[in-house]
Amino acid sequence: MSNGNSSYDLIIIGGGPAGLTAGIYAARARLKTLLLEERLPGGQISTTEYVENYPGFPDVIKGRELTQKMEEQSKRFGLEILSLSKVIFLKDAAVGFEIRLINKKSYSTKTVIIATGASPAKLNIPGEKELIGRGISYCATCDGPFFKDKKVIIIGGGNAAIEEAMFLTRFASKVLIVHRRDQLRADKVLQEGVLKNEKIELILGSEVIKIIGKSKVEGCIIRNKKSGDENEMAIDGVFIYIGSVPNTNFVKGILKLNEKGYIVTDNELQTSLPGIFAAGDVRENKLKQVAVAVGEGALAGVSAQKYLEEMKNKNL
C-alpha cells in the first residue's frame, strides 16, 4: 500500500482487465508502478456472470474469477494496488505528472496509463432517476436474485443485454427484451439461446418511454416506433443495457477526446499529451471486449516502458 506523496515511474488509473494487464507488464519490467482503482479491482467484467469468449477457458469462466486471477498475477510481480481511490485531478508537472485523489492525497509519476473504462449509459426517461435501486438496475448479476418469480424487462439488444437476460431466467418468471431496432445486435450464438428459452419474449422495434412506480418499479410504458402505439405494462424490474459512457471527466480539457468523450490515441496508445497512454473501454476503439482490453493493456504497458527509456537516453 502506498502512503501518498510518493513518486512512481508509472501510475495506472483503473483496475479492470486493461489496467491489470498493463500492471503485469510494467511490474515485470521492474517499473515502480501504482494502480489506482475507484472501487475494487475487476472493472465491469467482474459483474458479469460468465465469460465464454475469452481465449483459454473452453468451459467458460466467471467474470469475477477471471479478474481475480489477473489481480493475483499482477501482485505476484510486485504491482502496488490502491483500491477505493478516486482520481479527481491530473496535471502536467515540471517532470512528469501530478495525480490527486478525492481524499486529497497526491502522487507524482513519470508516465500515466488511463484505463478507467466506461459506465452504463442512462435512458434519461421519466422514472429512471427516481427508481434506480428500487427495481431499476444496470447489473443483472448483482441484482438478479432479488427478482425471484418476478416479471422483468431488459432494455437493449447487444451481447451484454442478451447475456444478462439469459442469466435473469434463473430467477425471474418472465424476461422481456425490449429493443428499439427490428433485430438484435448480439452474436448469433447468443440469439439462438434466447429463441430456445421459453421464459424470454422479444419486443422489437420498440422503446420504453416511461418507468412507473412510487417507492418501487410497478410498470412501464412501451412505444412501438413504427406505429407510435403505447402500451402500459405491469413489471417488477427494469435492467438497462444500452451502451456505455467513458469515464473521462477528470481529463476533459487536458487530453484530446472524440465526440463521444472517448480518449483519442495513436497506434502506440499514446494520448495527445506525451507520457500519458490510454487502454481499454475508455479509449476510442471499435470493439469493447475483454480480449481487446487485455491486448491494449499489454501494449500500453510496453509503450510506457519504451517512453521512459527514451526519456532516460535523452537526459544522458
- Residues 126, 156: Cα–Cα separation, whole Å: 18
- Residues 81, 265: Cα–Cα separation, whole Å: 25
Q: Is 229 a catalytic residue?
A: no
Query: Which residue in 9, 59, 139, 187 is the catalytic one?
Result: 139
And the C-alpha cell for 129? 432517476
166 φ/ψ angles, rounded to the nearest 5 degrees: -60, -40
Q: Is 142 a catalytic residue?
A: yes
Query: Which residue in 59, 92, 143, 182 is the catalytic one?
Result: 143
Query: Which residue in 142, 182, 229, 266 is the catalytic one?
Result: 142
- Residues 76, 96: Cα–Cα separation, whole Å: 27
Q: Is 220 a catalytic residue?
A: no
Residues facing 153 on adjacent strands: 176, 238
User: Are the C-beta atoms of 210 and 226 separated by less than 8 Å?
Assistant: no
Amino acid at residue number 191: Q
- H and E: helices and strands count for the chain: 7, 19
User: Are the C-beta atoms of 22 and 297 separated by less than 8 Å?
Assistant: yes
And the C-alpha cell for 95? 517532470
Q: Which of 116, 109, 122 is nearest to 248 (CA)?
A: 116
Q: E-assigned strands of the chain? A: 6-13, 33-36, 50-51, 61-62, 80-82, 87-92, 97-101, 106-114, 118-120, 136-137, 151-155, 174-179, 200-204, 206-212, 219-224, 230-234, 237-240, 244-246, 276-278
- Residues 56, 270: Cα–Cα separation, whole Å: 29
Q: Which residues are marked as active site?
A: 139, 142-143
